[in-house]
C-alpha cells in the first residue's frame, strides 16, 4: 500500500508539473517567421543557445515593416514598433503541418492588422507591392537580425 502511494506521488509530480523552458543565453536567431493571417500578418521568433537548443531570454524586439515595388526605388514606411520581450512569455507549442509539424519554444509578437498601416492595402495589393518585415532583437550585449517578405 505504501509503495502504491509513493508511486502515485511520483507519477503526479512527473506528469503534473510543467518543466521550465531552457534559459541558456541565446547564441543565434534560429527562426523568424512572418505569415499572412486574414487582413494582417502574424510574427514569431525562436532563439537558440550555442548547442542549437531552443532557448528563452529577456530582451527587446524591434519590428519595421516596409512596402516595396520592383518599378520604384523607394520604400513606403508602414509600421515601426518596439516590444519588450520577457522569457516567461515564451511558449512551447507545435508549429508546421502534417509531417513537418514539430515542437518549438517561441515568442509571438502577435498579429498586426493591415488597417494599422497608413496606406490603402487594397491599392498596394492591386499594384503588386510586396511587404518586408525587418526584425532586430537585443539582449545582454547580444544582437540578432532577421528579415522576411510577404505579399498583401
pLDDT tens-digit series, residues 8-56: 444 444 444 445 899 999 999 999 999 999 999 999 999 999 999 999 9
Alpha-carbon radius of gyration of the chain: 20
Q: Residue 19: its pLDDT value, please?
A: 57
Please, which residues have CB within 8 angstroms of residue 99's CB and are 6 or more apart in sequence?
none
Query: Could you give the dihedral angle defined by the CA atoms of residues 62, 144, 59 and 75, in that order, rounded to the nearest 10 degrees?
Result: 0
Between 130 and 18, residue with greater pLDDT? 130
Cα separation, 97 vs 33, whole angstroms: 15
DSSP helix, strand, coil percent of the chain (3-state; round to 5): 20, 50, 30
Look at the pTM and tell me if it is higher than 0.95: no
Q: Residue 12: its pLDDT value, please?
A: 43
Cα separation, 149 vs 126, whole angstroms: 17
Q: Residue 13: its pLDDT value, please?
A: 42
CATH domain 20-151 topology: Immunoglobulin-like (2.60.40)
Instruction: Please report, for residues 35, 58, 87, the alpha-carbon distance to residue 29 in angstroms, rounded to integers and kept in the order given.
Output: 17, 14, 15
Q: Residue 31: its pLDDT value, please?
A: 96
Q: Residue 141: its pLDDT value, please?
A: 86
Segment (H or E) for 16: helix 2-16
Between 3 and 80, residue with greater pLDDT? 80
Cα separation, 102 vs 138, whole angstroms: 26
pLDDT tens-digit series, residues 64-111: 999 999 888 889 999 999 999 999 999 999 988 899 999 999 999 999
Cα separation, 93 vs 105, whole angstroms: 6
Where do the domains of the chain lie? 20-151
Amino acid at each position: 500500500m505504501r509503495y502504491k502511494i509513493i508511486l502515485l506521488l511520483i507519477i503526479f509530480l512527473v506528469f503534473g508539473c510543467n518543466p521550465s523552458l531552457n534559459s541558456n543565453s541565446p547564441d543565434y536567431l534560429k527562426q523568424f517567421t512572418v505569415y499572412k493571417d486574414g487582413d494582417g500578418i502574424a510574427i514569431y521568433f525562436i532563439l537558440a543557445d550555442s548547442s542549437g537548443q531552443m532557448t528563452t531570454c529577456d530582451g527587446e524586439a524591434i519590428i519595421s515593416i516596409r512596402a516595396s515595388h520592383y518599378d520604384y526605388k523607394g520604400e513606403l514606411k508602414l509600421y515601426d514598433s518596439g516590444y519588450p520581450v520577457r522569457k516567461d512569455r515564451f511558449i512551447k507549442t507545435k508549429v508546421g503541418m502534417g509531417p513537418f509539424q514539430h515542437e518549438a519554444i517561441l515568442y509571438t509578437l502577435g498579429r498586426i492588422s493591415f488597417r494599422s498601416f497608413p496606406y490603402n492595402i487594397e491599392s498596394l495589393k492591386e499594384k503588386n507591392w510586396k511587404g518586408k518585415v525587418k526584425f532586430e532583437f537585443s539582449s545582454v550585449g547580444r544582437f540578432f537580425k532577421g528579415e522576411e517578405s510577404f505579399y498583401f
